[in-house]
Structure 1
Amino acid sequence: MILDALFFLVQAGLTLFFWAILIAAVLSLLIGFNVLDTRNRVVWTISDFFYRVTEPAMRPVRNRLPNLGGIDLSPLVVLLLVQAAMLLVAAIKGYMIAFGLYF
């Protein structure tokens, strides 16, 4: 019962982080193409929130990727890493059930 809650919280956290990265990338594109104006206080607050949430994960990836000019592939890499972590959590849960360690 406790493990169910633990696995649920980990998977829910990873899912929320996945969506936060996706929203931050779309916001960045919309701001970059001047569809959204950061002088609007609501737009700035929302974009700042998503930047602060996702930047600690994307900064190390961005530092390791080669410079491709104006193209930032770090959200894609981090999304793939989050998906891999979600698969890993599901596999760990499956192995725990198979070996009788899941109670």
Structure 2
Amino acid sequence: MTSLFQILMLLLDILYFIVIAHVIMSWLINFQVLNLRQQLVAQIWYGLNRLLDPVYSRVRAIIPQMGGLDLAPLVVLIGVAIARIVLMNNAALFY
């Protein structure tokens, strides 16, 4: 059961870093530091969008529209933090 706990924590860590990378990359694209005409940048961007779109679409269906502001990444990061707290507080169940 210890390995199940560690796998869940690893998956949450990976999701956290993927969301952070997506947010930072979106800022860099919006401020024209990165250009989507570059093949590598475009491949990374579309890959991150494909990974996170199922998660973001579910969150966007729940939260209200905020105009041009997308709060889905923030809600996902808060959800990951809550899941980590719940897992850490119930870690004794895995041992």
Structure-2-length-normalised TM-score: 0.90
Question: How many residue pairs end up in the alignment?
Answer: 95
Q: Percent identity?
A: 31
The runs of 5 or more residues in structure 2 that have no matched partner are none
CA apart distance, 1:69: 1.8
Counterparts of 1:91 and 1:30, CA distance in 2: 37
CA distance in 1 between counterparts of 2:19 and 2:84 reads 15
Structure 1 window deviating more from structure 2 (15-24 vs 48-57): it is: 48-57
Aligned partner of 1:19 among 8, 17, 20: 17
CA RMSD for the aligned pairs?
Answer: 1.4
2-side partners of 1:68 and 1:93: how far apart? Answer: 37
1:33 maps to 31
Please identify the structure whose Cα radius of gyration is greater: 1
**Matched residues in 2 for 1:59 and 1:51: separation?**
11
> Deviation string for 1:9-34 (max 9, x for gaps)?
11001000011011111111111222
In structure 1, the partner of 2:77 is 79
Aligned-pair distance for 1:63? 2.3
> Whose RCO is larger (CA < 8 A, sep 6+)?
2
Q: Which amino acid aligns with 1:66?
A: P
Aligned equivalents of 2:28, 2:65: Cα separation in 1: 21
